[in-house]
Amino acid sequence: MLPPLTKAVDVPNAPAIIDGQKSLTYADLQQAVAATERPASQFAIMSAPPSADSVIKVIACLQPNPLPPPRMRGGHRGGNIVACPINPHLPPNAIQRITHLLSSGAAVISPAPLRDSHDPIHPDTPAVIITTSGTTAEPKLALLSYGNLYYSACAANNNMPLNPGDRWLLSLPLYHVAGLGIMFRCLLAGAAIVVPGTQRQLADTILEQGITHISLVSTQLYRLLQDVDGLQALKKLKAILLGGGPMPRPLIERAIQENLPIHTSYGLTETASQITATRPDDPPEARFTSGAPLTQDTVAISSEGEILVRGNTLFLGYLQHGTLNRPLTPDGWFQTGDLGRLDSHGRLTVLGRKDNMFICAGENIYPEEVERALEAIPGILQAIVIPVDDPERGHVPVAYVRTDPDYIIEPARLMAHLSKNLLRHKIPTQFRPWPVHLPDSAKVNRRSIK
């Protein structure tokens, strides 16, 4: 059994949520949660941008009131409600599809027993459903337990210390597992969750709000490093957690050169956020990997080179077509679909996705390898490589590149540079500018480019 989520008893006067000029202590947060009206249904579909209101609503689902006010008596009293935070920008038909999948699978999720809000919580209590597209167009609803999120946060905090008085910027929404990870880590440590201002520059927010911890993707780190104020802000931080995809090597080199407290990591929705990360005392070269497992014996590499994971942070399963499906190997491993290797120190290097591989003239090409080679070229900020049909070779690689504003794409020069590190069939036949409709982020949907 696990303790309830917040630190209201231990640090009642410590700041829990800071949203603009408004600040809630842990005692205030406890009162806000108790006053939150909860739906009568088993699931709570909620719009979840980074906000104090989103945090309070999710906690209210996980930690119900022992006795709701009269106006809430019709609600789902005593037991927890499974929170389903969603992107507020989802189109209506997507929300309808999620609602249908939830309703069809309600019978296969065992409700938690009635309990007082101060009672211990069973680790397998269904807690949150995260919508993840995976590699198919059909949405996948990943069900995480309270224990999954709790144990993940404990392991992360043991690796990267977080204490009352520290402040972690909620730079990621709660409909992403990384945003939930920030929330759980702060609540378990008694640290403050800081909601970013919608119109504020990231560097200004870090400096003005006294941020100590932050999660960044490669684009955010790059922009901060290019700006004087951004670099000053980064140097004020105690810890910078990098994730959301592979980090270009030049970016890591620059961060090391500036002596920034970076932690590279690897995680997925199905493991309730990070499952490997570098340690504070790791040598600089470790930052070019995704670090070692946060919990022993939870990561392995299959004979085909696929990353396998297991442990107490592994999700309860996918809610699909009225069933709860938890696909594991006969010996209990979850196959991530990612390729990787473990070095002699147990640190993981992620090589790419199995399903991204394509064949050119009989040779295998892993797009991520080509992308890393492109991103090592000064002036190229981000690259994505896709296969394009070719009558002679089956497929050929084509690269889209996002560059510095004054960078000129010269295909012959890029090909010559890549030929130093890549075999000929892996070198893209075309180099195209970054599509204007794509976001500047580490994760790009390859289907949208194809």
Looking at the predicted structure, is the pLDDT value of residue 73 above 70? no
Please name every residue paired with 268 in a beta bridge, in sequence order, or none if there are none: 273
Q: Rounded to 5 degrees, what are φ and ψ at 354? A: -60, -45
pLDDT band at 320 (very low <50, low <70, confident <90, very high): confident
Looking at the predicted structure, is the pLDDT value of residue 252 above 70? yes
Looking at the predicted structure, is the pLDDT value of residue 428 above 50? yes
Looking at the predicted structure, is the pLDDT value of residue 96 above 90? no
Cα 36 versus chain centre, distance: 27
pLDDT band at 62 (very low <50, low <70, confident <90, very high): confident
Distance CA 279, CA 292 (A): 8
For the segment 216-243, what is each residue's pLDDT rounded down to a tens digit?
A: 987 788 889 988 999 999 999 999 999 8
pLDDT band at 284 (very low <50, low <70, confident <90, very high): very high
Quote the pLDDT of residue 141.
93
Q: Rounded to 5 degrees, what are φ and ψ at 342? A: -110, 135
pLDDT band at 136 (very low <50, low <70, confident <90, very high): very low
Quote the pLDDT of residue 214.
97
For the segment 160-185, what is each residue's pLDDT rounded down to a tens digit?
A: 999 999 999 998 889 999 999 999 99
Interval 258-273 mean pLDDT? 96
Please name every residue paired with 350 in a beta bridge, in sequence order, or none if there are none: 340
pLDDT band at 280 (very low <50, low <70, confident <90, very high): very high
Cα 36 to Cα 29, 33, 67, 114: the distances in Å are 11, 5, 12, 18
Q: Report the mean per-residue pLDDT for the chain.
A: 87
Distance CA 62, CA 50 (A): 18
Interval 322-329 mean pLDDT? 93
Quote the pLDDT of residue 68.
43
pLDDT band at 66 (very low <50, low <70, confident <90, very high): very low
Quote the pLDDT of residue 8.
62
Quote the pLDDT of residue 289.
95
- Confidence (pTM): 0.83
* Window from 12-16, 216-220, 243-247, 357-361 with minimum mean pLDDT: 243-247
Domains recognised in the chain with CATH numbers:
15-351 (3.40.50.12780), 357-449 (3.30.300.30)
Q: Buried (b) or exposed (e) across 380-399, using 16+ Cβ within 10 A?
A: bbbbbbbbeeeeeeeebbbb
Looking at the predicted structure, is the pLDDT value of residue 116 above 80? no
